[in-house]
Every structure is written in C-alpha cells, then in structure tokens.
Amino acid sequence: MRRTRAATARRASTTTGATSSSEGLAERRRDPADRRRHIVEITEAGAAVLGRVDAAVGEAERELSGDLTEAEQALFRSLLDRVVVDAADHDCGGAE
C-alpha cells in the first residue's frame, strides 16, 4: 500500500518525463473531466512487455525459492513486501 501511494504521488514533471521516454509502452492524455490533469495508460505494447517481465520474475522466484516450503515462501514474500525502496534514491548502475 505504501508503494502505491508513493508511486501515485509523483509530480507531474516526473510523469511527463517517464511517458516521454516510454518508447510507446505508455501514453499520456488529458483528463476530460479535469483538463489540468493527465491520465497515463499502458499501451498494448506495454502490456506485452509487462507480460514478459511478469513471466521472467515468476521464473526467477521459482528458481530462488524452489527449496522452500509453501509456508516459508509465503513468509519470505510477506517480508519482502515490507521492504520499501525508492530506486531514485540509489545508483543501480543503470545507463547514463
């Protein structure tokens, strides 16, 4: 829940920059009910990429947790859910 609130509290300039460089994965349009706001939606191409990412994450989780019982896996996931990290606060070695 905290991540969702943090993600939706981003400033408009951040959202504008993110959608400008989204390479067709998301699109931004004016909210017809409030022309001051923008709505950001995932495109079909973005949904396809998201599907591939979800599949890769699922496979990685299965590989990492294969030796854990279901109860241990559930505990591990609940602990990870409590870890809150904002990637903007860290240099993750991304492209410059």
DSSP-assigned letters across all residues of 56-80: HHHHHHHHHHTTS-HHHHHHHHHHH
Q: Given this model, what pLDDT does residue 13 score?
A: 54
Kindly state the average pLDDT of the residues 62-66. Answer: 89
Is the pTM here over 0.75, yes or no? no
Residues 6+ apart with CB under 8 A from 32: none
Per cent of the chain over pLDDT 70 is 73
Query: pLDDT tens digits, residue range 18-56?
Result: 555 678 899 998 989 998 899 999 999 999 999 999 999
- The average confidence (pLDDT) of the chain is 79
State whether the Cα torsion 46-51-55-60 is positive or negative. positive
What per-residue confidence (pLDDT) applies to 1?
40
The reported pLDDT for the residue numbered 6 is: 45
Percent of the chain with pLDDT over 90: 41
